[in-house]
């Protein structure tokens, strides 16, 4: 544990592990003659990705861009605005925080069928599910973040005769950023889950959730895996983007300087 990890080690070990798993998978499937309907080898999945690019792209736009990302910004924006308002009133905050905390732990994804009933089959219902799903974790994180300055810093702002808005913009807002990014990391993976689940309850004839359920129905497992790969890459990429922005924006925070 004493030796420091080099950059190469940090990349090569996990990469090597991934390659090993893929190799074992490919080898195992061929050796035991597993039916491709149950578990296709990685090479077949890769072939499926290459041969059905346009379909995958269409599904990706429908589910990720229209459903998940729209819902993500709506839910996040709503949570931000509400957090700033609630934060002004101690009474509201004391009442809403426990309620929001409780909601954040609930399986809100269960709202999916109701949202499909309200907003129809297209991406609007998916965005609505995602917006509600990401709203509560974002709200809880933002309220936590806005409270994350200590008395000394607050007092300093008071001695400057700073107004509430000034304190919010120059001290508490920036101090809340690490919490905001924490919330966003949770929210991006929730957004994909919400957008895909909502498609199981009805969707136009495109979208990743739609494709997974129909291709599964006709045992085209390689296509299902292709969608899984796309969703996995998307999820990881979204997380990576949030982390990268976090690094750029909150470079001053102890967790980023380590």
Partner 1 sequence: MKNILPIVTIVLALIVIWYGAAFKMNSTWTYDQAARAGTEVTFSDLLRDTMQQSRPLLPAPHQIASELWNTTVEKKITSKRSMVYQGMITLKTTLLGFVFGIVIGVALATVIVLSRVGRLTLMPWAIISQTIPIVALAPIIVVLSNAVGTGTLMVPKAIIAAYLSFYPVLVSMVKGLTSPDQMQLDLLRTYGARQSDVFWKLRLPSSMPYFFASLKVAVAASFVGAVVAELSTSAISGLGARMLIGSQFGEPMIMWAALFAAAILAGLLIFLVGSFEKAARHLMGGRAL
- Give the interface with partner 1 as residue ranges (CB under 8 A): 1, 3, 5, 9-10, 13-14, 16-18, 38-39, 91-96, 98-99, 102, 105-107, 109-114, 116-118, 188-189, 192-193, 196-197, 200-201, 208-209, 212-213, 216, 221, 224-225, 227-228, 231-232, 235-236, 238-239
Q: How big is the CA angle at 182 (ends 12 and 19), to the nearest 5 degrees?
A: 20
Q: Write down the least CB distance from residue 151 to partner 1, Å.
A: 20
Nearer to partner 1, 108 or 157 (CB): 108
Most distant pair of Cα atoms in the chain: their distance? 75
* Pick 157 or 186: Cβ nearer partner 1: 186
Least spacing, CB of residue 90 vs partner 1, in Å: 9
Closest approach, Cβ 166 to partner 1, in A, equals: 27
Decide whether 121 or 171 has the Cβ nearer to partner 1: 121
User: Of 135 and 167, which has the nearer Cβ to partner 1?
Assistant: 135
Which residues are CB-contacts of 133 (< 8 A; sequence separation ≥ 6)?
Answer: 71, 75, 108, 109, 111, 187, 190, 191, 193, 194
- Contact predicate 45/220, CB 8 Å: no
Nearer to partner 1 (CB atom), residue 74 or residue 109: 109
Torsion of CA 192, 194, 196, 202, to 10 degrees: -160
Output the smallest distance, CB 185 to partner 1, in A.
9
Residue 119's nearest CA partner among 192, 190, 199 is 199
Minimum CB separation of residue 94 from partner 1 in Å reads 4
Would you say 196 and 212 are in contact if contact means Cβ atoms under 8 Å apart? yes
d(CA 78, CA 249): 21
């Amino acid at each position: 544990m004493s030796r420091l990890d080099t950059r190469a080690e940090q990349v090569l070990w996990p990469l090597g592990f991934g390659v090993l798993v893929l190799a074992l998978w490919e080898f195992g499937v061929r050796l035991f003659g597993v039916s491709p309907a149950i578990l296709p080898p990685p090479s077949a999945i890769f072939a499926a990705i290459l041969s059905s690019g346009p379909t995958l792209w269409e599904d990706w736009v429908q589910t990720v861009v229209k459903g998940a990302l729209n819902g993500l910004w709506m839910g996040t924006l709503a949570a931000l605005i509400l957090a700033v308002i609630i934060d002004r009133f101690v009474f509201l905050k004391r009442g809403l925080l426990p309620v929001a905390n409780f909601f954040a732990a609930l399986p809100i994804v269960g709202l999916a069928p109701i949202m499909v009933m309200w907003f129809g089959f297209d991406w609007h219902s998916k965005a609505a599910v995602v917006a509600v799903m990401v709203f509560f974790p974002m709200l809880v994180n933002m309220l936590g973040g806005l409270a994350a300055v200590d008395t000394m810093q607050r007092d300093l702002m008071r001695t400057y005769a700073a107004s509430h808005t000034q304190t919010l913009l120059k001290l508490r807002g920036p101090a809340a950023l690490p919490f905001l990014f924490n919330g966003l990391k949770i929210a991006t993976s929730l957004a994909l889950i919400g957008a895909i689940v909502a498609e199981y309850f009805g969707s136009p004839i495109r979208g990743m959730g739609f494709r997974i359920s129909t291709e599964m129905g006709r045992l085209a497992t390689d296509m299902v895996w292709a969608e899984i790969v796309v969703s996995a890459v998307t999820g990881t990429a979204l997380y990576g983007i949030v982390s990268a922005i976090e690094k750029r924006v909150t470079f001053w925070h102890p967790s980023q300087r380590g």
